[in-house]
Amino acid sequence: MIIHQKIELAPATRKQRPILANLLELYIHEFSEFLDIDIGPDGRFGYKHLALYWTEPTRQPFLIRIDGKLAGFAFVKQGSAISGKETVWDMAEFFILRGHRRRGIGTKVAHNVWNLFPGPWEVRVMESNVQAHPFWTRAISSFTGKPISPTSMEKDGQLWRVFSFESRPVR
């Protein structure tokens, strides 16, 4: 439950790219628990698509702050790498620092993101990321007001759960 916390979702500027790069290291480190991810010789995982968030108009990076302090990020892009649908909004990456989890913050941030981009959405979750499955099911169901079930898809040998839903413009 969120108690008197100011949650801010703000577009990330090009100047804030190093901040996102640092947060991405924490995010990718969490994936190393269930994916075979190698760290580079420089001691970093890296994220090859980061620069594209300021050069491609179909990508939008956001920083998340709680009471003014960094708490995570969300990357949105148009077009799905899994289903191939070009007009769908895709939650490309989503990360809340562990200390802010299980208090409704992630759900509120996700709802804010979906409200910013009305239209068809896909949220894809790796089958191996079992801790994320219930979060996304609850967050999307509470957003749409109805139960949601993902579709299983395979892309390049990776199994995914893909949630498809519609975000309606806020009136």
The DSSP secondary-structure symbol of 34 reads: T
Q: What is the pLDDT of residues 108-124, one digit of tens each?
A: 999 999 999 999 999 99
CATH number at 77 reads: 3.40.630.30
- The pLDDT score that the predictor gives to residue 63 is 97
How many domains, the chain?
A: 1
In a domain, 35, yes or no: yes
In a domain, 20, yes or no: yes
In a domain, 103, yes or no: yes
Q: What is the pLDDT of residues 38-62, one digit of tens each?
A: 777 887 877 888 999 999 999 999 9
Whether the CB-CB separation of 64 and 96 falls below 8 Å is answered with yes
Measured between alpha carbons, how far is 3 from 102 in angstroms, rounded to an integer?
12
The DSSP secondary-structure symbol of 97 reads: -
Tokens of 61: 């990076």
In a domain, 129, yes or no: yes
In a domain, 2, yes or no: no
Distances (CA, A) of 70 to 67, 86, 126: 9, 32, 25
In a domain, 144, yes or no: yes
Residue range(s) defining the domain that contains residue 61: 7-167
What is the CB-side half-sphere exposure of residue 15 using CA atoms within 13 A?
A: 0
In a domain, 1, yes or no: no
Q: What is the pLDDT of residues 1-37, one digit of tens each?
A: 445 679 999 999 999 999 999 999 888 787 777 777 7
pLDDT at 69 over 80: yes
Rounded to two decimals, the pTM is 0.89
In a domain, 60, yes or no: yes
- The pLDDT score that the predictor gives to residue 2 is 46
